[in-house]
Structures are given as C-alpha cells and as structure tokens.
Chains A and B, each alone.
Chain A
C-alpha cells in the first residue's frame, strides 16, 4: 500500500479565514512534505519534516504554518491567505529521507485544490 490521503479535496476560503489541510500516511514513512503546485507547473517544495522535525522551510510566508503531530500525520494551517495562494497543495511522504536511494522516492497524495477569494 503506497497511499497518502489528503483532506479536504477542495477548499474555498476568504482572506480572513483560518483553515487547515490534513495529510495522512500509514506506510511507516519517516519524511513528509508539503508542496504547492500551480497549473501546468511542477510542484514547488514548501516544507519537509524528517523524523517529525521540521528540516526544510523554503522561505514560506508565515501565513502557512506546518505541523507534524506524529509520524503519520501532517497538517498545514492557513491564515490570512492571499488570492495568489490559490493552487493545488500536495502532500508527499518517503521512507528514509536522504538515505539509501529507493528510500528517497516520494509518494504523493491526491492534493487539495485551494481557492482564496
């Protein structure tokens, strides 16, 4: 089973709202990732959690706040977003971050399509 699940599938929010995106994997993977993807572009890395600790923050604005409650769950808290933040938000996980080749393979969830009005 190589499934990563994400909820919700779609989200519409105003610029003053607070919402959260959720991601879950039960593959025992020790690294989890958040990506942002605009239409017809490759995914852009936002955050990496390795062994439940934040290891990479790609200078993401503070209106995006990640959280890793445990090794299976990853959240992305959203507050005061801008219309340009509208995008597909992807979660991914990999077995062994930065180690042993096949362990670097990332498995993506189906994404949350976010629209900020």
Chain B
C-alpha cells in the first residue's frame, strides 16, 4: 500500500497550459517536500511545507499544504518545456520515532511540448 497517493501519474500538455498535481493520504505529515527529477539525476528540492494551510510560491509554481496536513498540491501556471520532469512528493509522518523516513508518492511524469 502507498502511504502517499500522487496523481496524475502522467501529464502531457502544451506550453502555456496550467496544471495541478495532487498528493493525498489518510496520514498526517509533519512536513512534506516536493522534488523535481530529470532522468539519471538526483531529485532536486523545490519546497518544504510544514504548516497546515500553508501556501508557498516559487515563480510559476504554487504549493499548498492541506489544513489537516494530510494532502498537498503543486500548481504550475503557464507551463514551459523546461518544466518537463518527474515530480515527486515526499512526507515525513512523525518526529523522532520514524527517524529519517520519507514516504514518497509514485511520481508524476510531466511533459510540456513547445
């Protein structure tokens, strides 16, 4: 069973379109990270959200953490070909007892066509 359900798994859009990626769970997370990964490279951190209801913006990317800290979304405005990659959400469920364990979603493979 997957602790974090990420959707959609694949997304293929034209340049200029908007999109949203979702990560949902029945568990509460103390923090949640979003990463972007290119083939053969390591995941690059985009953002960490820690407070329920928190919204963070990174240029055209908007990240939201649900009020109950069980879900998160990533919204991209006016997508560009450079946004193409694998987007991963990952959450830490507890402090202390599950020391260092991150639970990953399955990932969303985004392709933006020029």
Contacts and interface: CB of A to CB of B under 8 A. Distances in A.
Interface of A: 2, 4, 6, 31, 33, 39-43, 45, 48, 50, 55-56, 88, 90, 92, 94, 97-102, 104-111, 113
Given A108-B43, A111-B42, A42 B99 contact: no
Nearest to A30: B100
B48 A108 contact: no
Contact of B41 (A41, A55, A111): A111
Contact of A56 (B40, B88, B99): B99
A56 B100 contact: yes
B49 to A, nearest CB: 9
Nearest to B40: A113
A55 B104 contact: no
Interface of B: 30-31, 33, 35, 39-45, 48, 50, 86, 88, 90, 92, 94-102, 104-107, 109
7 contacts: A4-B42, A55-B99, A56-B100, A94-B100, A101-B30, A104-B95, A105-B33
Nearest to A45: B101
B35 A98 contact: no
Given A40-B109, A42-B106, A97-B100, A102 B31 contact: yes
Nearest to A32: B100
B42 A109 contact: yes
Nearest to B2: A42
Indicate the member of B50, B101, B107 with the most A CB atoms within 10 Å.
B101
Contact of B102 (A2, A55, A106): A106
Q: What 3 pairs between A and B have smallest CB-CB spacing?
A: A42-B104, A98-B99, A108-B42
Given A40-B86, A42-B107, A98-B95, A108 B35 contact: yes
A40 B107 contact: yes
Contacts of B109: 40
Contacts of B42: 4, 6, 90, 92, 108-111
Given A31-B100, A42-B107, A50-B100, A102 B50 contact: yes
